[in-house]
Chains A and B, each alone.
Chain A
């Protein structure tokens, strides 16, 4: 069969995998700060009922996101159209298998015109995107559970964003990193490395410093803080875990779902659950607010939800490349990004963005500056510590290797049975070269079926 698009001729990324990972996670954090700022403004100036705001956002967000995905699906090269014509052309289908193979194989060696191109517009932000796809049952389960917890998180978000200062909300919501790091450590069954502890402490302290405001009359209550730490961060952590599961789930052909589709389907579930959870709180005043502000709030909400969608595509892409805790830690750059955004926002709306005032204002700015530096240094330390290793292994004659057992070793990402000098190619990912690497290699060396192991560290990698 001729595939609709040849998924292997998209361009190799110019930026290496490690930097792509950092850029994606950091970008998702920066865009995240912008969307929270827009929501802060809309909640304070336009839709002042949090439940009406939540329902409006979900409805507008779903429509805007579907339209956005349809735009991403626009072909940018002739290839998808040519292949589509070939697929439905009777003449081509009446040919023999050999002729079909020859039709596909049209790349003479070192042909100048064989330039690698993207097939769809959406591949510029998500190279894996090849149109809307229906997930399989298992993916549906993970996406549905992601949507459920995202729905809880979204409702709490809209309740908090109304009263809470953006400079307090953004840092407080980053504590999900601590929950996720504990989760990663439990999954890996290992202790954190010194660099990880050091980086996370720097980021947490940086976030706290950036959040301290001695001068403004913040309206944050204890109930809000309980909601942030016990409900928002917890549901966010569970959401990330299910998203990671959805990212790693393969279909019958061994393919994973792309980030754009994962976000689209999560959004459907999230919108459904958010609306279901919000409806019991809606009173007549809420519905009146909903009707009277729908048109006025349309543009800013649409913009905010579009930014959410783009940020989430980047976030899910980063999630497919690295550890949950590291992705979230990198995204916490939103705290730093929140400072200039709040400054610009205060020019538009003083009600939505309150700035430090009075004689202690300079101390607040100093603390925020130190906090920003700590977050950046922590991010660099944490993101640079992860290593990817390739292991080639020979299987002993007369032995059958239990691949499932190899795959179950924490850190093993992929196992391939290969031809040639070696029998297995094992790709593994370790949080640091010192902490994770040796125990994994030791476990592999202890496998009775393996005869010889050769390991190579991947120094730099580029992907299509």
Chain B
């Protein structure tokens, strides 16, 4: 039987994107490891990304990768403390 005994670090990262750059940003986000969901949303932010990593260090690396994507204006990371 397979095992999965990790307690992952999860976070939502909300992104504001430069006009006309949404599709390019989406394509790059989909390639980043540990990104489990990408969604285009209405409201203050344009995209929300769910990231799940094994360690906080890894989470830091993933957020850095996201920050480097061209077309992203602003990010807001919220680490998930508990899920119900």
Contact = CB atoms under 8 A, between A and B. Distances in A.
Contacts of A421: 76, 78
A252 to B, nearest CB: 11
A463 B1 contact: no
B84 to A, nearest CB: 4
B4 A416 contact: no
A132 to B, nearest CB: 6
B77 A253 contact: no
A30 interface: no
A229 interface: no
A121 to B, nearest CB: 14
Interface residues of A, number: 55
A415 B42 CA distance: 19
Interface string A105-137: 101111000111000000000000011111000
A131 B2 contact: yes
B57 A458 contact: no
B54 to A, nearest CB: 5
A7 B84 contact: no
A6 interface: yes
B65 interface: yes
A464 interface: yes
B76 A104 contact: no
Contacts of B34: 6, 8-9, 107
Nearest to B59: A105
A421 to B, nearest CB: 7
Contacts of B73: none
Given A8-B53, A110-B68, A417-B82, A131 B1 contact: yes
B29 to A, nearest CB: 8
A226 interface: no
A116 B33 contact: yes
B2 A403 contact: no
B43 to A, nearest CB: 4
A404 B84 CA distance: 8
B36 A415 contact: no
A340 to B, nearest CB: 36
Contact of A109 (B6, B8, B43, B68): B68
Q: By CB atoms of chain B within 10 A, which of A130, A415, A461 has the most? A: A461
A455 interface: yes
Interface in B7-45: 7-8, 10, 12, 26, 29-45
A3 interface: yes
7 contacts: A3-B5, A7-B52, A8-B35, A8-B36, A131-B2, A133-B1, A457-B42
